[in-house]
């Protein structure tokens, strides 16, 4: 089977949504919401990448003067916050929306309007946080927000934008988490018991529980910090008998599960890509599922390895060193399962496969350097140096982003009906791979030589000049890689080779329906009898699903008599008024409490009215 479908001139005609901006503002279709997440996150990826580029220009040589110290603080704070909360998490959410209903044989998510609400909250929350640049008050206390730096010693609005923005974004994550948990439990196709679910859906399922358990913890921490800043409470003030380490405990109880919130979706995508292009079922499917569960469970017991330098004592240090070493076991299991999946397979080195293999290799490097930090003596030498910067970029870029890019190349034909160029994709891959390694590998050595994190200049003569120059050159290559990838996407959306239902020979349900999928996904809900229904009666990599283009028009839901949720503008209004309510709290810190109270009451009233209008309107009778 060819890796890309060759097509006659006539295009396969799928369901076409109503055009215009209004259709996007009111959509509750999980596929369109997934596309909104994808487009928005990719735009913030450009912003976060620009912030990183400025950082690397500043550090390219000793005693740099490209930006001021204050601007540097804002840049590295917003770069970390943007990449974690506005890019990688929403890109994962895009794939949750695009894939979960298709993989489990459902027509939509359990709560379509709540799904739309989740996106609009994310959009408005991200705009609110980045509006801080427009008033010269971008967050400047690091993406980790350690107190008392962010309480006693940060009097401006900078940290207020960060605190309120993260609370807004938390609402989006929790809404999505509950929605997808309900969807996966209740809406699976007949015969799809849990151990027949696609591995991506499994990893997504685990992530939703991490979200709903971890985000309340950081919400508590943020509320405490907000009260300290706005109302003079002293939750983190040592002089008042409190403990500033309380913030670190609360933040990292969230922050380390957050690492797995970021990486497990990429693991799931790679676990879909590798079997397809190895033409073999995933090796050790049950072990992959249970290892994902174990990672999630142990992820809540390792948070204080981020705090070895604060002086917790030998008992606490030993406990968290052991749990940190233990979590390497289920992670290592996945690495070996992926390798054995490829072992002896008929491998096709598509662009998606290259990105997937890169995740296996690069995440292994990041994982090994992470296990090094399970040793408190080693951690004391490496913490707050560029060695840590190298480590978490190998995990989050070499892991999460490589997996997400593999998913983009793999699923692009399913949701656009067009193939991405493999030739341009190969350039995109190698530029990304070389640029990433050239940027972050030297940071291991600059960190071991003593270069501290979060400093805007360094002196000459410390052996750091060449290493920092290499990292900056790698950043420039990554910029070129992003431009090549963006060109590939934009051109292929209009002129790419047309894809059939199943251009790759994929094994799961999403490849059984037209590309792009109709609004109702499945004309008839399928019955599932195996983990790989499309390979059930065929050799791996083959099925009886057509891979050529048909000019047959796909009927709409209305023509088939399939009830589907109607569009609604109300989730957007609820999200907008909620965001404005949080924004009004900034006025309290400006000494305009009466105006703030009036604004909060007004926005809360409008939000409540919109919410009740939403809840009291039947989903399928709305106009």
Q: Any idea which residues carry the catalytic annotation?
A: 79, 108, 143, 172-173, 256, 258, 260, 271, 305-306, 331, 334, 453
Q: What sign has the CA pseudo-torsion 311, 312, 316, 321? A: negative
Q: Which two tokens stand for residue 127?
A: 């705009």
DSSP 463-519: S-HHHHHHHHHHHHHHHHHHHHHHHHHHHHHHHSPBP-S-TT---SGGGGS-SSPPT
Q: How far apart are CA 622 and CA 616, in angstroms?
A: 10
Q: How many other β-carbons are positioned within 10 Å of the β-carbon of residue 500?
A: 22
DSSP assigned state of 534: G
Q: Residue 452: helix, strand or coil by DSSP?
A: strand
Q: Residue 514: helix, strand or coil by DSSP?
A: coil
- Which of 157, 47, 45 lies closest to 94 in space, CA to CA? 45
Q: How far apart are CA 402 and CA 267, in angstroms?
A: 10
φ, ψ of residue 13 in degrees (nearest 5): -105, 110
Note whether 115 and 287 are within 8 A (CB).
Answer: no
DSSP 216-263: HHHHHHHHHHHHHHHH---TT-GGGT--THHHHHHHHHHHHHHHHHHH
Give the position of tokens 């010269």.
Answer: 136
> What is the CA angle 124-176-78, rounded to 5?
45
Q: How far apart are CA 265 and CA 268, in angstroms?
A: 5
Q: How far apart are CA 492 and CA 534, in angstroms?
A: 27
> What is the CA angle 221-225-227, rounded to 5?
120
Beta carbons within 8 Å of 284's beta carbon, 6+ residues apart: 333, 337, 340
Helix extents (H) in 131-244? 158-186, 199-231
Q: How far apart are CA 76 and CA 58, in angstroms?
A: 11
């Amino acid at each position: 089977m060819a890796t890309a479908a060759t097509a006659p001139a006539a295009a396969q005609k799928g369901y076409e949504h109503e055009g215009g901006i209004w259709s996007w503002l009111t959509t509750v279709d999980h596929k369109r919401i997934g596309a909104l997440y994808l487009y928005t996150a990719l735009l913030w990826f450009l912003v976060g990448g620009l912030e990183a580029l400025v950082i690397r220009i500043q550090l390219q040589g000793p005693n740099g003067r490209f930006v001021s110290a204050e601007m540097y603080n804002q840049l590295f704070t917003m770069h970390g916050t943007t990449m974690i909360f506005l890019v990688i998490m929403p890109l994962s959410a895009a794939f949750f929306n695009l894939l979960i209903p298709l993989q489990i044989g459902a027509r939509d998510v359990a709560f379509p309007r709540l799904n739309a609400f989740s996106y609009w909250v994310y959009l408005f929350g991200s705009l609110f946080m980045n509006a801080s640049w427009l008033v010269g008050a971008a967050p400047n206390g690091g993406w980790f927000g350690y107190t008392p730096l962010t309480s006693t010693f940060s009097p401006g609005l900078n940290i207020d934008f960060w605190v309120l923005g993260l609370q807004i974004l938390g609402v989006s994550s929790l809404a999505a988490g509950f929605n997808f948990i309900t969807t996966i439990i209740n809406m699976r196709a007949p015969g799809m018991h849990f151990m027949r679910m696609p591995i991506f859906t499994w990893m997504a399922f685990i992530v939703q529980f991490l979200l709903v358990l971890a985000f309340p913890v950081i919400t508590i921490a943020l509320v405490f910090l907000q009260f300290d800043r706005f109302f003079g409470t002293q939750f983190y003030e040592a002089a008042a008998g409190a403990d500033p380490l309380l913030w670190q405990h609360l933040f990292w109880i969230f922050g380390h599960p957050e690492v797995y919130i970021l990486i497990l979706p990429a693991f799931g995508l790679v676990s879909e890509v590798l079997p397809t292009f190895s033409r073999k079922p995933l090796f050790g499917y049950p072990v992959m599922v249970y290892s994902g569960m174990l990672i999630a469970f142990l992820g809540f017991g390792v948070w204080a390895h981020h705090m070895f330098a604060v002086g917790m004592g030998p008992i606490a240090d030993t406990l968290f060193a052991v749990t940190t070493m233990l979590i390497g076991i289920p992670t290592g299991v996945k690495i070996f399962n992926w390798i054995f999946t490829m072992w002896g397979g008929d491998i096709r080195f598509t662009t998606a496969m290259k990105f997937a293999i890169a995740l296996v290799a690069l995440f292994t490097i990041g994982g090994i350097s992470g296990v090094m930090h399970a040793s408190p003596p080693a951690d004391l030498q490496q913490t707050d140096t560029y060695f840590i910067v190298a480590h978490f970029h190998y995990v989050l870029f070499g892991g999460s982003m490589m997996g997400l890019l593999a998913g983009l190349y793999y699923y692009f034909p399913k949701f656009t009906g067009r193939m991405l160029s493999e030739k341009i994709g190969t350039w995109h891959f190698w530029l990304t791979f070389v640029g990433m390694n050239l940027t972050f590998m030297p940071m291991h050595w600059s960190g071991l030589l003593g270069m501290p994190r979060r400093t805007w200049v360094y002196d000459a003569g410390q052996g750091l000049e060449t290493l920092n120059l290499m990292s900056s050159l790698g950043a420039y290559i990554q910029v070129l890689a992003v431009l090549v990838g963006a060109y590939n996407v934009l051109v292929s959306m209009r002129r790419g080779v047309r894809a059939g239902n199943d251009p790759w020979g994929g094994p799961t349900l999403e490849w059984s329906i037209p590309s792009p999928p109709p609004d109702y996904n499945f004309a008839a809900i399928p019955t599932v009898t195996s983990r790989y229904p499309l390979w059930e009666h065929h050799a791996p990599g083959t099925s009886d699903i057509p891979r050529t283009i048909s000019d047959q028009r796909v009927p709409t839901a209305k023509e088939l008599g399939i009830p589907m949720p109607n569009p609604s503008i109300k989730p957007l209004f609820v999200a907008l008024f909620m965001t404005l309510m949080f924004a009004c709290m900034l006025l309290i810190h400006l000494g305009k409490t009466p105006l703030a109270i009036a604004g909060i009451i007004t926005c809360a009233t409008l939000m409540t009215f919109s919410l009740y209008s939403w809840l009291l309107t039947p989903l399928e009778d709305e106009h």
